[in-house]
A and B are shown apart, each in its own frame.
Chain A
Amino acid sequence: MSDRSKWKDGMGLALPAMRRRDFLSLSAAGIAASIGFGARAQSGAAVPLPPKERKGQVVVGLSQEPKSFNPLMPGVEVDEVVWTSLFSCLWMAHPDGTLVPDLAVAVPSEENGGIAEGGLAWTVKLREGVVWHDGTPFTAEDVKYSLELIMSPGFKSRTRVGHELVRDIVVKGTHEISWRMERAFAPYLAQLANTQIVPKHILSKADDPNTAAFNGSPVGTGPFRWSERRPGDSITLVANERYHGEGPYLEGVVLKYIPDMTALYAQFRTGQVDFVPISGIPANYYEEATKLSGRKVAVAPSGNIEVIMPNLEHPAFAEKAVRQALYAAINKEAIVDALYYGVPKPTESYSPRESWAYNPNLPKHEYDLAKANRLLDEAGWKRGGRGIREKNGKRLEFDLSTTTGNALREQCQQLMMQDWQQIGVSIKINNMPGAVIWGDFYVRSQFQALLVGTAFRTGVDPDPAPRFASDAIPVKGGSGGNYMQWVNPEADKLMKEGQVTFNQEKRKEIYFKVQDIVREELPIMPLFQYAPLEGIKDGLIGYRPNINQRQNAWNLGSWYWAR
């Protein structure tokens, strides 16, 4: 136990030399803004300045191979490492949640007139002097082309959320573009912060953008240029000498694919790999890794939340009292501390703690079997045969499913099974391989209850409507990810308001209320927020975990070596 409390000193952003007290005294944004936390952690020494000339390279170790290089097509986190290095968006989301202009001159808002008519008319002025990696100037035509490509019928675009509302795109000049929205949709700002702009002069010439040569040798406007790919092995990116933004300070970046997590950790240990993002260090190596000299381990926040997801159409979960009783009977602390090495933090919300929309005032979960029993008694669930509760001839029992082969989740299930047994609830473990679970079983709501880790956002915007709105239930004809089939008119109304309001303070108020409702109604039972362990070699400056991006190599352009 003493070991664990020692670890917690380094929690949050894992500043090894930092006390928990010091850590708490800083705002999350302040910490996130401290470039190169490694240097800062050492008795407040100044962060070395970037070198005057480009120097050195960074080897990024990835346990999955990036394969999707057209940023408008489907891809996973590792692919985004390539996208954010090669391409630019109109603006990008920084760790504190602010949107910073990139290809645009300013982020449109109601104040600067970029968003008018209550969110229906958008105008964006673009930066001048930006060139594509092949030397062609970047213009408004590229933006128009990108937005149209996403919506063109045969194109395999990653997502159309928000884009589907765009109408009448008008190029008003080489560096100005405007469009209308079918209805006001505030999350579109964040969605555009994750929509890379692709070159019209290359892609429009391809017979089929889905299979264009571009997808194998992408050309962007980002800090790095595509150099070489060795399939199954590595991807090399080199500095873009004509980059319009800060940096790049490195000569290049090598993305090395090391499929085995233990091998990946070994190579980080021996120094063959400089940076391991995206949950690259297994939790069981955490303690050892923090003691490695010349290496830092960061507990980087992730937007994913581990939850029990009940199917509300199942009789056992239809009643709020039952969900509350089940929630009260989960020993969260034991799960986090005993199973997950105390690395992640328990949470009451579906929102990541670092989000500007996170509500810190939610009632704290208490592990209370007596309360759980009382709730079920009051709701009329009487103990029957073998101590299992019954009501109206139905037994309080259900299947709990998760991915097979995940030892931690399986142990978690066992803990819950024991606890729930004590309040007269019987569960059966029904685990399946990941590819089975996340197929129809999940998206067609065929499960009874799932143990799942997922995000409840619209891209990187805190809008949870795709997960909680009643028109987002696929089995009822909706379009979204409300697989638990939750229907709540009040939450529906609030989420609608959140989408048409562009004022962040007002939106914050709205999402606080939504979180209150979700915490009370428990359409999901939140367990903890994911805490991927990332590793960085000492002397590598620039690492800034960013909850508003989907991976923490988002700013590789401003990284450099201290020496």
Chain B
Amino acid sequence: MSGFLIRRLLQAIVLLFIVSMIGFAILHLAPGGPLSQFAASGDMTQADLDRLAAQLGLDRPLPVQYVEWLLRLLGGDWGVSYRDQQPVLKIIAAHIGPTMELMLSSTLLAMLLGAWIGILGAVKRYSLFDSLATIGAMIALSIPTFWFGLVIIYVFSVGLGWLPAGNRFTVGDGSFLNRLHHLVGPCIVLALVSTAVWSRYMRSSMLEVINQDYIRTARAKGLSERYILVRHALRNALLPMITITGLHVPTLLSGALVTETVFTWPGMGRLFLDSISYRDYPTVMGILMLSAVLVLLGSLIADVLYGIADPRIERSGQ
């Protein structure tokens, strides 16, 4: 186990290094820069622009900039945002809360709903419910998040007036109920794809389990169907789900990006888009590295948990 962990951690470090290099290169090689906004406004002279570029270190060769950035990062200094004048870590910390709120609530919703649909679909295979669930999942997987978000806003906010059109809470009212009310729309949108994925995996995993011998034995013993499903089948069927959840982090992150934009949710996704459009290199790199860590951590945790949950899993070959 520890050997496996060390191997995986080393792999992760190499991967992070590669991600940082590629991310840095792409970001800095793209034409334009943090000063282009000021250039267009015509308020600053060329000398002002040149001076600022020098102060931000943008006039140095790219490899030098990269090494400097990397050394600072390793020293725990994620840099200062060009746009915000604040340490990148502080900015990310301020935005990560809303994103986590959205990701956790939608994951929870997707897990409960997806598991329920999947189990029911497996138990009542080829029933009307199962067919509808299958079609529904296909549709959910094909719908663009952006479009679905707009539909939700159009129907439930503009049309029926049930949900707010965006924001995390009303200005001047930060109560729990108000926040919850604002969470409904984006949470549903972000949970849509995850629910579809979960229900499909849950269904096939459950099907596999309920055809096993021990389930038949349990049935023969005369146990109630409900007891068999919950006590015997579900536990084993949930095993692959651990992996799915861990590997689902990237999808969630990219989904949050779109959902936050549509619902004017003040989280990391929007911060990322804003920072890119402003070429705020330190912030973009900070978010990129953090996302990479989250994704790697997600898959690592999934692997570890899987091993704990089912010791039969072979790891020596990896």
Contact = CB atoms under 8 A, between A and B. Distances in A.
A438 B47 contact: no
Nearest to B168: A233
Contacts, number: 159
B45 A472 contact: yes
A231 B45 contact: no
Given A438-B37, A480-B46, A258 B55 contact: no
Contacts of A479: 45-47
B33 A466 contact: no
Given A254-B171, A263-B165, A434-B32, A233 B266 contact: yes
Given A455-B41, A478-B46, A210 B85 contact: yes
A352 to B, nearest CB: 13
Contact of B91 (A59, A231, A260, A550): A231
B177 interface: no
B98 interface: yes
B55 A211 contact: no
Contacts of B40: 434, 438, 442, 452, 454
Contacts of B277: 435
Interface stretch (B121-129, B267-275, B295-303): B267-275
Given A74-B52, A230-B266, A233-B266, A480 B39 contact: no
B279 interface: yes
Given A65-B274, A232-B94, A161 B42 contact: no
A309 to B, nearest CB: 11
Interface string B21-53: 000000000111101111111111111110110
Contact of A263 (B37, B39, B83, B264): B264
A105 interface: no
Contact of B95 (A210, A232, A474, A478): A232
Contacts of A366: none
A428 interface: no
A232 B267 contact: yes
Contacts of B51: 160
B41 A76 contact: yes
A256 interface: yes
Contacts of A256: 167, 171
B31 A435 contact: yes
B49 A443 contact: yes
A68 interface: yes
A435 B36 contact: yes
Interface string B80-105: 11011111000100110010000000
Contacts of A211: 80, 85-87
Nearest to A452: B40
A266 interface: yes
A67 interface: yes
B261 A158 contact: no
A439 B36 contact: yes
Interface in B33-78: 33, 35-49, 51-52, 55-56
A269 to B, nearest CB: 10
Contacts of B44: 74, 158-159, 161
A474 B81 CA distance: 27
A436 B264 CA distance: 27
B30 A73 contact: no
Nearest to B157: A266
B42 A474 contact: no
A156 B47 contact: no
Interface residues of B, number: 52
B180 interface: no
B308 interface: no
Interface residues of A, number: 64
A456 B48 CA distance: 17
Nearest to B266: A232
B39 A442 contact: yes
B25 to A, nearest CB: 17
Given A259-B264, A439-B31, A481-B42, A156 B91 contact: no
A161 B44 CA distance: 8
Contacts of A550: 43
Interface in B249-294: 261-262, 264, 266-267, 270-271, 274, 277, 279
Interface in A418-477: 432-443, 452, 454-457, 459, 466-467, 472, 474
Given A67-B84, A68-B83, A161-B48, A435 B165 contact: no
Given A158-B48, A233-B168, A443-B49, A438 B86 contact: no
A277 to B, nearest CB: 16
A435 B30 contact: yes
B150 to A, nearest CB: 9
B307 interface: no
B266 A231 contact: yes
A489 interface: no
Nearest to B174: A230
A266 B262 CA distance: 13
B103 to A, nearest CB: 16
Contacts of B98: 232
Contacts of B49: 443
Contact of B165 (A160, A259, A266, A434): A266
Nearest to A155: B55
A479 B261 CA distance: 39
Contact of B261 (A57, A234, A259, A457): A259
Interface string A204-234: 0000001100011000000000000011111
Nearest to B270: A232
A267 interface: yes
A363 interface: no
Contacts of B170: 272
Contacts of B42: 454-457, 466-467, 481
Interface of B: 30-33, 35-49, 51-52, 55-56, 80-81, 83-87, 91, 94-95, 98, 158, 165-168, 170-172, 261-262, 264, 266-267, 270-271, 274, 277, 279
Interface of A: 57, 59, 65, 67-70, 73-74, 76, 154, 156-161, 210-211, 215-216, 230-234, 254, 256-260, 263, 266-267, 270, 272, 432-443, 452, 454-457, 459, 466-467, 472, 474, 478-481, 550
12 contacts: A68-B84, A159-B43, A161-B44, A215-B86, A232-B274, A254-B171, A435-B279, A437-B32, A438-B32, A440-B31, A455-B43, A457-B42
Given A438-B40, A440-B31, 17 more contacts: A59-B171, A67-B85, A69-B85, A157-B48, A160-B45, A161-B48, A211-B80, A211-B87, A254-B171, A258-B166, A259-B270, A267-B166, A434-B40, A438-B32, A438-B39, A454-B42, A472-B46
